[in-house]
Amino acid sequence: MTDKEKELQVINESLRHDLQVARINNQSLQEALLETQSLSVSSAAALLEKDEMIQRLESQLQETKSLYYKKDEEKQFVQLTKASGEYKGKVIKLQDQDFDEKIHLGQ
């Protein structure tokens, strides 16, 4: 074997080694890409799930507020009805800083 052939053989072995390393790196990169895609899909699904949960909670909050205000209005109406019933036919005295007046209710 001549010096030139030995040199070409060394270069050839070096290239084969580099090719093997490149294949291993390529495989690792493909695995990492698949894992990243899998995580992206699961992250997107988790975000959609959280968004749906937020929408449900906001809807429940609106329903709760609506019920609260309805109950509050009913309570105020009942209190007003009771108050007007209590004072029906009675005279109450309203006082203010600037005036003093009597009012007859429910007559």
- Domains contained in the chain, number: 1
pLDDT of residue 107: 46
94 in Cβ contact with 101 (< 8 Å) = yes
State which residues form the domain around 45: 3-104
**pTM surpassing 0.85?**
no
All residues at 6 or more sequence positions from 93 whose CB lies less than 8 Å from its CB, including other chains: 100, 101, 102, 103
The chain-wide mean pLDDT, for the chain, equals 81
CB burial of residue 23 (10 Å; 0-12, 13-18, 19+): exposed
Write out pLDDT tens, residues 49-76: 999 999 999 999 999 988 888 887 877 7
Could you write out the DSSP letters of every residue in 96-107?
-SS-EEEEE---
pLDDT of residue 39: 86
Q: What is the 3-state secondary structure (H, E, C) of 8-27?
A: HHHHHHHHHHHHHHHHHHHH
pLDDT of residue 71: 82
pLDDT of residue 3: 92
Is the model more confident about 99 or about 75?
A: 75
pLDDT of residue 85: 60
